Amino acid sequence: MKKPAKLNKGDLVGVIAPASPPKTEPLQKALRFLEEELGLIVKIGNSVDKKYGYLAGEDSDRIEDIHRMFEDQDVKAIFCACGGFGTGRIVSKLNFELIRQNPKIFWGYSDITFLHTAIHQQTGLVTFHGPMLSSDIGLSDVHNASKDSFQQLFHTEDIVYTYEKSKLETVVEGVANGPVIGGNLTLLVSTLGTPFEVNTKGKLLFIEDIDEEPYKVDRMVNQLKMANKFNEASGIIIGDFKNCVPEKPERSLTLDEVLMEHIASAGKPVLKGFHIGHSSPSIAIPVGSIGKLDTRDHTFTIETGVRGGGNE
């Protein structure tokens, strides 16, 4: 495991769009948040202003942006403007040795899940599953807790997720430890059968998603189950499943029924109700840091994802 250095006010940070193009007005608001509230200096990637269908530029444009930001020694963190579609198209062409040699904060979620999974497994770098600039921080009604999540990049205190932050519920009792891995369910399933297949052995797996009907969630969690991902995990964290409701409730299983049938059967400790993912607030967590899940007191504790200095 390799942790990036923490941020300080006045640091230069990069903003890129490795998936779809961001909406301009919300992005501008989010950039002001980085500059005025966090005290950072922003460098915009070339692909942020490009459009290629539903992508922020061609694959080569988005790959070049990632490489340039990691290569630039002055850039201390890389924030993804938004998610959408397309990271799975570029991951096999990334220079992971370049990323390994230049560890720095990498932040985003949703479609960025594919990059989190690949980067951590290929380089050992801790990355951050956190609210997007354009699609979260740039909204008119952004939750203060979503903004506060960025503070973990400036400090080396461990992160403690408690019942007070959201009403956590025990699905399967127990205590579990291990590196934290996971993200968007749809993207995790899309890694299966690829060189970047998510590895859950001995790890705390978290999942979240948006706008998927229960029958689609059923298909995906069943595939993870058949791939032995729940059995191999030490524990499971169920994040937010926003708008994952059936169009015809009278002909559908509920989301809870689907998740419980496939996940609880593994017999691993499970907590649900986390504001992780497409939710408001959206709480950021470091991917790859060591975590502890405890259903007895409904807590989830994670080591800091950044280092204060020196090598780890």
What are the catalytic residues? 110, 208, 278
Identify which of 296, 252, 295 has the alpha carbon closest to the alpha carbon of residue 272.
295
Q: Show the tokens assigned to 278.
A: 């497409």
What is 135-189 written as a DSSP string? IIITSTT--HHHHHGGGGGT--PPEEE-TTTS--EEEE--EEEEEEEEEEHHHHH
Cβ contacts of residue 88 below 8 Å, gap of 6+?
A: 114, 187, 190
**Nearest Cα residue to 299 out of 208, 237, 210, 229:** 237
Is the distance from CB of 112 to CB of 4 less than 8 angstroms? no
